[in-house]
Amino acid sequence: MTFTHEVGHLIGGMICGATLTDYDLAPWRMPYSLHSPDPHPLITLWAGPILGVAIPLTIADVAQRRWVWFIADFCLIANGSYLALAWVSGDRFLDTPRLLDAGTHPAIIVVYCVLTIGIGYVWFRADCIYYLAGETNPKDGAIKSETDS
C-alpha cells in the first residue's frame, strides 16, 4: 500500500512539473516524497491516494487471482483509512492536512474515505472469510467476479 501510494505522488509530481527534492521508498521506513517547487500540489497530493488504489486494483484485475485481490482490497481500506486518520491526527506533514491546505474541499476527502473504506471493507471481509474458511480451489479463486458476486 505505502509503495504504490508513494509512487503515485512521484508520478503526480512528474506529470505536473514538480521538482523532486527528496524521497524514500524503503519498506522498513515510512516512505515519503518531497517536491519543491510544486506548481500543482493538488495533482501531486491526490495522485498518491488515487494511484495507491488504482495500481493494485489494475494489477488484480489483470492477474485474476484471489490472493492478488486480497492485497488490492487491503490497499483500498488502507488508503482510505490513512486519509481519515491523517485528518484526525492533524499532523501537518501527512497528506490530509496538506490536501486541505492546498484547497481540497473537505467533502471530497470524506467521499474518498467513505468509498475506499466501505468498498474495501466489504471486499476484504469476503477475502478473509474465503481464506479463513479453509476452502481449497485449484485456481486460487481466480476471478473475483465469479467468486464474490
Q: Reply yes or no on whether the pLDDT at 135 is more than 70.
A: no
Q: Which pLDDT does position 144 carry in this prediction?
A: 53
Q: Which pLDDT does position 114 carry in this prediction?
A: 98
> Quick one: pLDDT band at residue 137, thresholds 50, 70, 90?
low
> Quick one: pLDDT band at residue 1, thresholds 50, 70, 90?
confident
Element of type H or E holding 97 = helix 95-101
Element of type H or E holding 21 = strand 20-24
Separation of alpha carbons 29 and 133, rounded Å: 34
> Quick one: pLDDT band at residue 149, thresholds 50, 70, 90?
very low
Model-level pTM? 0.86
What confidence tens digit (pLDDT) does each residue in 115-132 have?
999 999 999 999 999 999
Q: Reply yes or no on whether the pLDDT at 83 is more than 70.
A: yes
What is the average per-residue pLDDT within 76-90?
A: 96
> Quick one: pLDDT band at residue 27, thresholds 50, 70, 90?
confident
What is the average per-residue pLDDT within 87-95?
A: 93
Mean pLDDT of the chain: 91
Could you give the angle at which helices 2-15 and 66-89 cross, rounded to 10 degrees? 70
